[in-house]
Structure 1
Amino acid sequence: MKIGGKLKVLMLSMMLAVSSLYVMPIQFSQTAVAQEKGQSGAAFDQKVISRISMERIYEDVHYLSETIGPRVAGTEEEKFTANYIKERLLSYGYEVEVQDFSIPDLKVGHLQTDNGDEVLINIPSGSAATTEEGLTAELYDAGLGYAADFTDEAVGKIALISRGELTFQVKVENAIAAGSAGVLIYNNIDQAGPLNPSINENAPLPVGGITKVSGEALLEDVASQDGTVTLKVNAIENATSQNIIAKRTPKKGGNHDILHVSAHFDSVPFAPGASDNASGTAVALEMARVLKSYPIDKELRFAFVGAEEIGLVGSRYYVSQLTEDEIDRSLANFNMDMVGTSWENATAIYMNTVDGQANIVSETAAATAERIGTPSELVLYQRGSSDHVSFHDAGIAAVNFIRREPGTANLEPYYHTPLDTIEHISAERLKEAGDLVGASVYSLIRN
């Protein structure tokens, strides 16, 4: 079953480095967390490490990214993934809860040339939808989208506009005034993923964003030859996403501390999401299998959350449903996102905290890494942008585990692109993440 499908992409090159804003790493102490139970943790580490299966994790990443494919929030693919996770957790004997929640209305689109080539496109929420057949029209080269860039030739055509100098909103308004039937805005810098143009008001025509390479190719190969493109924009209204929560409580006592392990399973459009974030999801599933029956003295919860890519919506909803008592009893959150990339520069495991400060999660992981000899460098770093933010904002100690390039903190070049596939996943690094986080979690919950 192939749900995602393969896209024919109108691009000359996509192997471009994608970076993110960063600050310098913060130095921290790798002082071991005190062994409250009076024994060396090494033997207990092996109870987890010996059972973490690299093959199982890799197979799950392959299934999620290659069989299901892109898992965009609110789509059938995301719902299928949620059910897949739920059934797996039920088979392990966990108490499983499905949390449904509303998400903002979405617009998804497709852009195709008259010779059948498909162009990657992002659709802003303010775009108008098209009919099911879409809008088929010639392209009009509107330069930077100034009013003076439009002539009578723009009427009824799709305006192809370069990013730069004017806001996206003004470019769209000028195209509307000129009588254009649609708007395509292409980037003015080389980035692998299509531009996501934000517009402040709902437009009466379809609007999309594409890459610099795609825009230039359309100008040369389509617009100059009086060719046409077909633009389709579909509105996904009243959409929902879901979280899958697995819970395991100690057999004795009550009001136990709670430890949360989280990973998001949705992806961005067009991206199979092997690294982001089938990797974290698959590692968390394997941890759930390994930790399903060992004696524990704290409550263990696995939170597989949806809709992360549209603003951490799933994790925020999950945390919002915790009672005040549950928040007070929450010891920590281990969040995994993009832990399996094979990109050779991503030699470090970054432990992102919102405030840049060490906490029980980072210090436990540092102590575990020292005991088990984790191959990769661990870097404590100040960074949000993942589901650990939702836990931090509620006062719960949280760390996002993610692979980055040391020094620059760059993410892999396949990030948020159609190249985020199984070909760029390291089975060994998946196992390394499972060993590190799995042993760390067990050191805090074991009886």
Structure 2
Amino acid sequence: MKLFRLAPVAVVALLVLTGCPDRTRQESATTPEEPAMRAAPAFNADSAYAFTAKQVAFGPRVPSSPAHATCGDWLVAEFKQMGLTVREQPFEAMAWDGKMLRARNIIAQFAPQAARRVAVFAHWDTRPFADKDKQNPNAPLDGASDGASGVAVALEMARVLSQQSDSTAPAVGVDFILFDAEDYGYDTATQSKLQNKLAAQGTDTWCLGSQYWSKNLLPAGYKPSYGILLDMVGAQNAKFSREQLSREVARDVVDKVWNTAARLGYSDFFLFQDSPGITDDHVYTNQAGVRTIDIIDHLPIGDDYFPAYHHTTQDNMSIIDRRTLKAVGQTVLQTVYAE
């Protein structure tokens, strides 16, 4: 799906950091007494699960398809029903296979008047083909974790925030920004026999929505305190490591999120372990000046970066786990409330 992005210097740093995992865990476990957190409201995992299932029920959300258009309309309506300020950012982009994609980014703002803001990013499209599937490489896929789960966490956060009074709302505004056409990319490992028509232009075939947004910021001049990208955050036994680019550009935010997860009892999901960099939407939000970290399901052992369901027909509702949705949603919600 996305490409490794690890510089030689970073390899050395990664080996140093991961060479003593026990020490890393010990340091995090022996942190001096921490001040009490302002408790966030409960994140409802059942609701997040239902939001995931609803997206999957539309069918594969491939840009330019009827299911994609219908799901996008539903997302906009949901955010509006919750009382958020919603904007749509339509755009067209050519995919690696030459197809012109009709797409749109969706921006929903909670407390748009607040000066201090935090961004929560996700992508809402699905990959058009399960090219890593050994039996059905040309089949469409549901994208239950890869796409729908991140959007579901964003929707449930928005629902919870919309129910708060002035006295129980967080001290910051929150912007939920859903990127389109993230997953219509050229994978050299599975599609090398096909022509990448964007190669001559030197254009990244992934993350088309965030690429467009980064050059056409909406809201204009957007500058939140930081951003959190949610990608593949719903599968059973998900593991989230501290991704390289996230550490390089926003180590304080990485520490904030991972330490919050630990205090909430979710260290079985949020590992105090460093992982190589990945080309994801946060590459382009960072280029736009928004310090962004990536929470992404990553195999902590072995040579493969991604779980077995990645870009296969296995990425359906059968792998979605309410515990994972709860761990991610409650952690990010608590992080926002700590501001």
TM, length-normalised to structure 1: 0.57
Q: Percent identity?
A: 27
Match of 1:422 in 2: 317
Measure, in 1, the Cα distance between the counterparts of 2:33 and 2:288: 26
Match of 1:359 in 2: 251
Report the alpha carbon displacement of residue 97 of structure 1 after superposing the two structures with TM: 0.3
Matched, 1:82 2:47: no
Residues 391/94 of structure 1: CA separation in 2 closer, same or farther (3 Å cut): same
Pick one of 123, 126, 146 that aligns with 1:267. 126
Match of 1:368 in 2: 260
Residues 34/425 of structure 1: CA separation in 2 closer, same or farther (3 Å cut): same
Match of 1:287 in 2: 157
Matched ranges for 1:345-356 at <5 A = 346=238, 348-354=239-245, 356=247
Residues 326/382 of structure 1: CA separation in 2 closer, same or farther (3 Å cut): farther
Conservation of the 8 A alpha-carbon contact between 1:315 and 1:387: yes
Across the aligned residues of Structure 1 and Structure 2, the Cα RMSD in angstroms comes to: 3.0
Measure, in 1, the Cα distance between the counterparts of 2:31 and 2:321: 29
TM, length-normalised to structure 2: 0.74
Pick one of 83, 90, 98 that aligns with 1:93. 83
Residues 424/389 of structure 1: CA separation in 2 closer, same or farther (3 Å cut): same
Select the structure that is richer in strand: 1
Measure, in 2, the Cα distance between the counterparts of 1:297 and 1:289: 17
Measure, in 2, the Cα distance between the counterparts of 1:20 and 1:242: 23
Pick one of 399, 406, 410 that aligns with 2:305. 410
Measure, in 2, the Cα distance between the counterparts of 1:321 and 1:368: 33
Residues 381/291 of structure 1: CA separation in 2 closer, same or farther (3 Å cut): farther
Match of 1:54 in 2: 45
Residues 367/244 of structure 1: CA separation in 2 closer, same or farther (3 Å cut): same
Match of 1:247 in 2: 109
Conservation of the 8 A alpha-carbon contact between 1:272 and 1:420: yes
Residues 33/382 of structure 1: CA separation in 2 closer, same or farther (3 Å cut): farther
Measure, in 2, the Cα distance between the counterparts of 1:59 and 1:278: 11
Structure 1 residues 405-439: Cα deviation after superposition (integer angstroms, max 9, x where no partner)? 21336322121112211111112111111111121
Bigger CA radius of gyration: 1
3-state SS of paired residue (1:80) = helix
Report the alpha carbon displacement of residue 359 of structure 1 after superposing the two structures with TM: 2.1
Residues 323/81 of structure 1: CA separation in 2 closer, same or farther (3 Å cut): closer
3-state SS of paired residue (1:268) = coil
Match of 1:180 in 2: none
In terms of mean alpha carbon deviation, does 429-438 or 402-411 score higher?
402-411
Match of 2:148 in 1: 278
The amino acid that maps onto 1:359 is R
Q: How many residues align?
A: 283
Select the structure that is richer in helix: 2
3-state SS of paired residue (1:435) = helix
3-state SS of paired residue (2:225) = strand
